[in-house]
Each structure stands twice: as C-alpha cells, then as structure tokens.
Amino acid sequence: MSTIPPNKAPWPHPLFAREGRPFLAISAVLAMVTTAGAGWLWASPLWLITLFVLQFFRDPARTAPAGDGLVLSPADGRIVAVEETDDPWLKRRALKISVFMNVFNVHSNRAPVDGEVKQIWYNPGKFINADLAKASTENERNALWFQTQDGKDVTCVQVAGLIARRILCYVEPGAKLQRGERYGFIRFGSRVDVYLPTDARPLVALGDKVSASSDVLAQL
C-alpha cells in the first residue's frame, strides 16, 4: 500500500448513506412497534435487521493519498483479479483489477483517479455470484470511462452481484471528479472492475483487502 502523505477530501461524507434511509426507517419502525406490542423477544429479529441495515449503509469519511499517477480502490473489499485482459468498453488490452464486496463491506463507490467522466455505459444482465470471473461480462453492470489530465484512460465498472439488485450512479459524462470522490452505490453484495493501461504497475495482489479511497491499487 502507498505511504505517500494523505490529502484530505474537500467534499462531505455522511456517516450513513442516504440510499439506506428508507430501509432504516422501515426496519426501525417495525422493531419499535413490535417491541411495544409484543415485547423484546419477538422484536429481537427486527432489531438485528435494523443493525444490519446500519452497518451495510455506513459511509465513513476516507482520506485519499496524495501523489501523481495513483489509482485508488473504488470500493471496499477483497482483490479477486489482477490480470491482463481485454477492456470491453474501450476495446483495448488492459490491466484489470477487481474488488469483490460482500454484504459486510461499505458499498459506496468512489472515483479511482482525478479525471473527467468521458462516457458511461449501462448494460442489463444476470445476478450471478460477483466473486466469479464471468460476473464481469454476464451481470448487470455500469461502466464509467475516466480520462486523467495527462490523457490516461481508466474504466471503472460497477457490477451487480448475487443479491445486489440496484446499481446507483450519480454522475454524467462531462463530470470532473477528484480521486476518492463518491459517485455511486451498489446495494447488497457486488464487485467493481478497474481497467488500466497495460503499463500500469499493480500494487495489490490476489486476496488483499482494500478500502475505498484509502488504499492504492496501482501506479499509472
């Protein structure tokens, strides 16, 4: 991981993601009503669901490392691919690094590089286990093409998983993002694929656990 001094992000990060507010409100109200009407024993499963919602939709502030050419992790999770392959979006050979998120990871997605969003592609698809390699080509997915100021192309793909049924993306082509800036969210288990130029130097290995914005995947 990078030891470059950190650069505090200038944008706000809520501790609890707005995407989870309806789920939290419903689960908490049901738990309170059941507690009042039937007691703690009957309400305990609902309180456990409320706690799960709280942990799943947490969205902690993160500090992004400073330095030239750094590619930050766009998601929390475990590295499941570091390989040279075809980038299906930009039609090029690329270094692909994939991060798998389970239901206990933070699911907020953040920009891996400083750059402009040149194009966005959305593809409907299946909902197979996101830990499998074929999820990158068969599952529902949303791809963002970032271009850095020095002309480097980075493709960042949100991929739905076995339980994930909603990919959220809040930016449009032309948006200029800073590395670590929040741009989307995936509900309930998924992965993010990052396609880099083939001369990028990977700084992670299979099985490594990474945190969005805080950990460096590669050096361009």
Q: List the beta bridge partners of residue 122.
A: 142
List Cα–Cα distances, 70 to 9, 66, 201, in angstroms: 15, 8, 10
**Could you tell me the two tokens for 8?**
């505090």
Query: Is the same domain home to 39 and 125?
Result: no
Residues 114 and 27 in one domain: no
Give the number of other Cβ atoms within 10 Å of residue 178's Cβ: 15
pLDDT in tens, 62-90: 888 888 899 999 999 999 999 999 999 99
Q: Answer whether residue 5 shows pLDDT above 60.
A: no
Checking 201-206 for CB contacts under 8 A at 24+ apart, the result is 202/82, 202/95, 202/97, 203/1, 203/2, 204/79, 204/82, 204/97, 205/79, 205/82, 206/79, 206/80, 206/81, 206/82
Give the residue among 206, 207, 208, 203 at the shortest CA–CA distance from 70: 203
Number of domains comprising the chain = 2
Say if residue 193 is in the same domain as residue 104. Answer: yes
- In this prediction, residue 38 has a pLDDT band, given cuts at 50, 70 and 90, of confident
Q: Do 49 and 115 reside in the same domain of the chain? A: no
Query: What b/e sequence results for 105-122 when a residue is b if at least 16 CB atoms lie within 10 Å of its CB, and e otherwise?
Result: bbbbbbbbbbbebeeeee
Residue 126, φ and ψ in degrees, nearest 5: -85, 180
Find the mean pLDDT for residues 24-38.
89
Average pLDDT, the chain: 83
Which residues sit opposite 93 in a β-bridge? 86
Domain enclosing residue 39, as ranges: 18-56
Tell me, yes or no, whether 114 and 163 share the same domain: yes
* Active-site residue flag, 213: no
**Is residue 2 pLDDT above 60, yes or no?**
no
- The pLDDT of residue 7: 42
* Residue 102, pLDDT score: 85
CA–CA dist 107, 99 (Å, integer): 11
Q: Predicted confidence band at 94 (pLDDT cuts at 50, 70, 90)?
A: very high
Q: Are residues 83 and 32 in the same domain?
A: no
Q: Over the stretch 137-191, which tens digit does the pLDDT of each residue have?
A: 667 889 999 999 999 999 999 987 665 557 888 899 999 999 988 898 887 668 8
Same domain, 111 and 212: yes
Report pLDDT digits (tens) over 97-115: 999 988 888 888 899 999 9
Question: Which pLDDT score is estimated for 167?
Answer: 83
Residues 108, 190, 213, 214: which is the catalytic one?
Answer: 190
Answer whether residue 60 shows pLDDT above 50: yes
Quick one: what percent of the chain has pLDDT higher than 70?
83
Mark whether 50 and 79 lie in a shared domain: no
Pull the structure tokens for residue 32.
């309170």
Distance CA 98, CA 77 (A): 9
**Longest CA–CA separation in the chain, Å:** 63
